[in-house]
Amino acid sequence: MCDYLEIAPSIFNHPTIARPIINVSTTRLLSNTLVLGLTLTLCGATASVAATATTDPVGYNTISLLANSDTYVSVPFHRPAAFVGQVSSFSGNVITVAGTPGWTASQFVYASGTQANTYYAFIRSGTKEGNYYTVTANAGNTLTIDLAGDTLTGLAANDSISIIPYWTLGTLFPAADAGVSFTTSASPFAVQTYVLIPNLQASGINLSTTSSYFFYNGAWRLFGQDLTVSRNDDTLIPDTYFIVRNNASAGTLTQTGSVLTKKFVTPLQTYTGGKQDNPVALLRPVPVTLDDSGLAASGAFSASSSPLNLSDILLVFDNTVAAKNKSSSATYYYYNGAWRKFGADASQNFGSTVVFGPGTGVQIRKATSSTGSASIWTNSATY
């Protein structure tokens, strides 16, 4: 049995978006997620698009951050785009957009004290749909981007592109939310809430976090660095989780933003010297099953030859259990054409299991690679 909730269109601040109807389950609301602008059928935890809009729909998500615990967190929304347009051409790592957008030089480049945002270019259609690249420079109608080892081969004229600001510590955890989503530390020697960033550069498994942030004296600070320097503008990567570590006090994080309706591409790193951990998250505001994740279908997740000889594995963490440095609560692998769970009968198919909850993260451990090349994971929206 589902109820129906009508949301006034004024919340979208966009005159071309029709009044949406949200199909709401009385017992489950996308794991505390509300998506506006789509018609969602939540009975049975499925979702489908019933209307289209000229802008991405918006929504919110709520996450409980337990006391004396680590919570694996991601953001299932992106921030509103600063620009949406079309590609005219590209050369190397420079994209020229169609028309005359009238950008000022370095408009999309971070500048401490004057420009708080760091931006990325997101490809919305065509062969490169779902890829994103940090903007390092811009002129009146051109973007210079960091390809991070990739190329723009396949990008074509008229492909859709948007420019989106990254989430930052200051935008996701603003000072006004102190006492709600995080606890202020009275002293750097008695930190109450940490935001821990995984190490995306190191090789191997069971990697320590690379950065530890805490809120002190009115701003976010980086542990081990100058405590007079604000780190509010430090970015959070859209396809990677981070860890919120609370000590004595619990918190509640409410996330709001734009819903991604396009494909999303995540490179999964490999290592020639052994297995490689990838801390990842899906930029989706709905529960996603193993089958719907596209991990196996995209070829990014290597199948195991035997339950006794595992290749890639996926590790899930339970945010409802209060613990620090917690071990994984479940391990999944792909074998004989289906998803299996470590410790369960290898004939049982777990493909319909939801492992990607809105605003959470998992760890994908890639098997040793002969080349060290990344495996490309493409996820498509199920709504």
Q: Where are the beta strands (DSSP E) in 116-166?
A: 119-123, 132-138, 142-146, 160-165
- Per-residue pLDDT, 34: 52
Please give the model's pTM, rounded to 2 decimal places: 0.86
Contacts of 124 (CB under 8 A, 6+ apart): 84, 159, 160, 161, 162, 262
How far apart, in whole angstroms, are the C-alpha atoms of residue 363 and residue 330? 11
- Per-residue pLDDT, 33: 52
Sheet holding 242-246, edge to edge: 69-73, 242-246, 193-197, 211-216, 219-222
| Residue 100 phi, psi (nearest 5) | -125, 85
CATH 3.40.50.720 fits 83-165, yes or no: no
- Per-residue pLDDT, 380: 98
pLDDT tens by residue, the chain, 383 residues: 333 222 233 333 332 222 232 222 222 333 445 555 443 333 333 333 333 334 789 999 999 999 999 999 999 999 999 999 999 999 999 999 999 999 999 999 999 999 999 999 999 999 999 999 999 999 999 999 999 999 999 999 999 999 999 999 999 999 999 999 999 999 999 999 999 999 999 999 999 999 999 999 999 999 999 999 999 999 999 999 999 999 999 999 999 999 999 999 999 999 999 999 999 999 999 999 999 999 999 999 999 999 999 999 999 999 999 999 999 999 999 999 999 999 999 999 999 999 999 999 999 999 999 999 999 999 999 99
Of 235, 234, 232, which is closest to residue 170 (Cα–Cα)? 232
- Per-residue pLDDT, 56: 83
What is the domain partition of the chain in residue ranges? Answer: 2-55, 83-165, 169-257, 262-379
Neighbours of 320 (CB within 10 A): 9
How far apart, in whole angstroms, are the C-alpha atoms of residue 374 and residue 163? 25
- Per-residue pLDDT, 30: 38
- Per-residue pLDDT, 43: 33
Are residues 256 and 262 in contact, defined by beta-carbon separation less than 8 angstroms?
A: no
The tokens for 332 are: 């999944």
How far apart, in whole angstroms, are the C-alpha atoms of residue 272 and residue 268? 14
